[in-house]
Structure 1
């Protein structure tokens, strides 16, 4: 499938970054810090599926000779099938894919070893996420059994939601509101669409 080498910057095309963070509070700048990229696409939402606007934009933007830099495999995809599909699709188009944390560069040159590495490392990342989810479920079940699990409490009270809606309606930038109220952009939109109890 692809040849794997140590991560190095290429000069045939552009160096493009893709960053995914799960909320507005996370610092996306640290993921690809110091690489001097030509352009970076950033999604601030869950990576549970492929429905990510900036990932789609990055995949469409990339051209033959470009290199896509991603902090780690789990930032690009949350399961092995999606990971292989993206990497294979890009390398077949002449785009190199660099995973900074793992120190791997996929170039599109045939190599059984690179195919094995992509599959094994992607499978380990997927397995690790499954273990984390299982531990979370077990912890919640134990807390419920002990009578101490209260569930996730709303981040904002009714008065705060009213204030948030008023300010958004007045044209304040939603990204700034999300930071001020310490909520993600997804949560902010949920609050804006939710009816309030009082006017």
Structure 2
């Protein structure tokens, strides 16, 4: 039986030190990425690592995911693998070898709903803030890393393709496509 920790914060400048502090762990998976999606490298690595009889420790429900559906799916899938999951902040344990307490399941779903609601509120405030900044002329989006004319020039060379030019210039395929479309060219 292995005690595995899963630690997540949303951005690179946030500190993970408070999560699972004092919990004895054999292996820890840490990432600094949004919990809005379950497409996370360390989450997948943790899921692949754990085996029947292991226990996954998570500081709080919102650290595992920010969606009710994602949380329920992750807990169900871990339990199905024979893995117990403990949420320390909420003092909740979901074990594969016993039927879940209906009250605990209700509390879990309510807390998961609050985590999802909180994420939606954050996104809503972000959109509002960007709109207000644009109105004031403060927010102009990300600065371009390359001028469109450099892309058009590269596309005019013999044998040029969207993919080749994107790779050559170190930009995304969509950046090249957007520049060509804006130019009105059919290169």
Q: Distance in 2 between matches of 1:132 and 1:33?
A: 27
How far residue 78 of structure 1 moved from its aligned partner, in angstroms, is: 2.1
Matching residue within 19, 34, 38 for 1:46: 34
* TM-score (structure 1 length as normaliser): 0.65
Q: Which has the larger radius of gyration?
A: 2
Among candidates 124, 147, 152, match of residue 137 of structure 2: 147
Matched, 1:25 2:13: yes
CA deviation after TM superposition for structure 1 residue 153, in Å = 6.0
2:77 aligned to which of 85, 89, 98: 89
Q: Distance in 1 between matches of 2:119 and 2:35?
A: 12
Q: Which has the higher contact order (CA 8 A, sep 6+)?
A: 1
SS of corresponding position for 1:43: strand
Closer, same or farther: CA 28–153 of 1 in aligned 2, 3 Å: farther
In 2, Cα distance between equivalents of 1:45 and 1:70? 15
* Residues 32-85 of structure 1 deviation map (CA, whole Å, 9 limit, x = unaligned): 221121110122323332221211111122122221011221221121111100
For residues 1-199 of structure 1, what are the structure 2 equivalents within 5 Å?
13-108=1-96, 109-110=98-99, 111-151=101-141, 193-194=170-171
Match of 1:190?
Answer: none
Q: TM-score, normalised by structure 2?
A: 0.68
RMSD over aligned CA atoms reads: 2.5
Please give the alpha-carbon distance, in whole angstroms, between the structure 1 residues aligned to 2:39 and 2:106: 27
Q: How many residues align?
A: 148
Q: 1:136 to 1:23 in 2, by over 3 A?
A: closer
Give, in whole Å, the separation in 2 of the partners of 1:150 and 1:31.
Answer: 36
**1:28 partner SS:** coil
Q: Which structure 1 residue ranges, 5 or more long, are not aligned? A: 1-12, 159-192
Q: Could you tell me whether the CA contact under 8 Å between 2:35 and 2:63 is conserved in 1?
A: yes
